[in-house]
Amino acid sequence: MKKQTKKETPLSIEPRPQNPIESLIRMERLPHMWCPGCGIGISMGAFARAVLESGIDQNLLSVVSGIGCTGRVAGYLRLDSFHTTHGRAIPFATGLKLANPKLKVVVYSGDGDLTSIGGNHLIHAARRNVDLTVILVNNLNYGMTGGQFGPTTPHEAFGTTAPYGNYEYPLNLPYLMDVCGANYVARWTVYHVRQLTRAMVEAMNKDGLSFIEVISPCPELYLRRNRLGDALQEMVYLKENSRIQNGAETRSVAIEQKRQEIIVGKFVDRERPGYIQAMDEHLGKAMGARYQRPSFWEK
């Protein structure tokens, strides 16, 4: 018989301490695919804390993403989440909300997904003030496909498809959402993680369309190609070059240059009727007693 070797097996293993947000994350899928220093993970942590802090019923919360590095958020959240096709998160989310208005529906996706291929949906969701929260992670390029320039890439920044620099000018997203009619418009960077979390709670409590632009470093592609330093340098840059200006005129908050001051804050917070309320009010008036909400809504 072999003699007993070395240590005895401990009778009990001390449980590993748990990060409080782990209840909202599919821990079995970690480590996640995001590069070291990528800001998307910070935004997702903020979202998880916002869900916990808001006390929102997680059984009635649904997250919809499109395609891209940011789109992967849907797969990492332990919530009813959907990873839709490229650009189509908003139409999918709109259908979900209208099929079951009791749901709180959050669209979580990238700048390319939501403003380029999906740009028309974003415009009309804001115009209709559809009852959705849209969290747009703006890393100033298409991350997942290798750093192409898109509608948010600053003028003269480099991308794989802009080897001599981008001669186009980018969209000013808060301004766009404001003029289209969204009820709530804010911008924070991932450095402003406390304010970002608070904004997410506020946005999820609003009727109508609430929109948060999250400025986030893409160190692997955008920062490297533009020689803007590493992720940590970018975070320090965001800290030092952002100015909080709540209620700022959205037309004045464009991010057009590679290096410029970034205005952050809550820009719009108003109470236009959301899509569902507008439908109820108008059809109730126009059709009188004949107006009935879909039977499957009341459960």
Partner 1 sequence: MPAKGPRGKVHTVADRCKGCGFCIEFCPLKALRASGTMNRGGFHFPEIVTPDKCSGCNMCGMVCPDFAIWSEKLISEKDESES
Ligand X SMILES: Cc1ncc(C[n+]2csc(CCOP(=O)(O)OP(=O)(O)O)c2C)c(N)n1
Instruction: Give residues 123-152 in contact with ligand X (rule: CB under 6 A).
Output: 137, 139, 142-145
| Binding partner of 232, given partner 1, ligand SF4, ligand X, none, CB within 5-8 angstroms per partner class | partner 1
Q: Which does 220 bind (CB under 5 to 8 A by kind): ligand SF4, partner 1, Mg ion, none?
A: ligand SF4
Q: Biggest alpha carbon distance in the chain?
A: 91
Rounded-to-integer distance, Cα 132 and Cα 192, Å? 23
Pairing of strands 242-244, 262-269: parallel
Does residue 3 bind partner 1 (CB under 8 A)?
A: no
Q: Bridge-partner residues for 25, per DSSP?
A: 77
Among ligand SF4, partner 1, Mg ion, none, partner that 46 touches (CB below 5 to 8 angstroms by kind): partner 1
Q: Backbone phi, then psi, for 259, in 5-degree steps?
A: -125, 115
**Site map for ligand SF4, 218-237, x if CB under 6 A?**
xxxx----------------
Cβ-Cβ contacts under 8 Å for 108 (sequence gap 6 or more): 47, 63, 64, 65, 70, 73, 74, 89, 135, 137
Residue 42 binding partner per list partner 1, ligand X, ligand SF4, none, with a CB distance cut-off of 5 to 8 Å that depends on partner kind: partner 1
58 exposed, middle or buried (CB, 10 Å; 0-12, 13-18, 19+)?
A: middle
Q: Which of partner 1, ligand X, ligand SF4, none sits in contact with 113, Cβ below 5 to 8 A by type?
A: ligand X
Q: Which is nearer to ligand SF4, 131 or 234 (CB)?
A: 234
* Residue 220 lies near ligand X (rule: CB under 6 A): no
Q: Which residues bind Mg ion (CB under 5 A)?
A: 110-112, 139, 143
